[in-house]
Amino acid sequence: MKPTLFFLNDDAKILDLIKKGDEEALVIVYSQNKNAIFSLVMRNNGSEHDADDVLQESVVILWERVKSGRFEYTAKLSTFLYAVAKNVWSRKRMRKMREPATEFDNDAFATTDQSPLDEMISSERSRTIADALEQLGDPCKTLLLLYYWEERSQEEIAVQMGFANAATVKSKKYTCKKMLEKILKNNG
């Protein structure tokens, strides 16, 4: 007879199931966090479909981190999932805002309040920043684009760029931002 394992809490049991590759953990995590994440997305102008996508993506992120050994248990799983869902939904909303209109949309063709001169200045400012980023080079250019343009978390950037941790990303981001400001000041 196999000995029964006793877990200190439900999170420990779920993490153990994920490590073993037991998909029952997905069902448990999904059902335990559905209401909170649906509420988060719906309060922030999302649909039920959006909420379901965000929840699924968040659960997959948890699964992948636990399986790869990159997950650190520093808070309850529900807290971790809520934070991940918040980041996922924020990125999805930003992506939607940047996408061009796909159907005829009167608002998309409405005149802007900017004068042609204001538009030209805004365009010139964007070009200046893009040129400064090119001068800055990698890894600073990539780090700043991931953080400010793609709105990635410092943890995600650390993983993607191979930094030791989020604190390293924060420090490097500060240094890179100061270098960019210096380039912009010298070019201005």
CA 67 – CA 84 distance, rounded (Å): 17
CA distances from 41 to 1, 37, 48, 79, 88 (A): 46, 6, 8, 15, 10
Average pLDDT of the chain? Answer: 80
Q: What is the pLDDT of residues 37-73, one digit of tens each?
A: 999 999 988 899 999 999 999 999 999 889 888 888 8
Architecture of the CATH domain 118-188: Orthogonal Bundle (1.10)
pLDDT score, position 6? 47
How many residues belong to the chain?
Answer: 188
- Token code pair at residue 75: 């808070």
Three-state DSSP state, 31 = helix
Question: pTM for the full model?
Answer: 0.51
Q: Does 1.10.1740.10 match the CATH number of domain 8-100?
A: yes
**Cβ–Cβ under 8 Å, residues 163 and 70:** no
Whether 183 contacts 135, CB under 8 Å: yes
CB atoms within 10 A of CB 16: 14
Q: Where in the chain is the domain with CATH 1.10.10.10?
A: 118-188
The 10s digit of each residue's pLDDT in 66-120 is 988 888 888 888 988 999 999 999 888 887 777 655 444 444 444 445 566 666 6
Rounded Cα distance between 188 and 184, Å, is 6
Nearest to 86 by CA among 144, 27, 151: 151
Ranges of CATH 1.10.1740.10 domains, the chain:
8-100
Residue with tokens 């500060």, as numbered in its chain = 174
Distance CA 34, CA 36 (A): 6
Average pLDDT over residues 137-147: 85
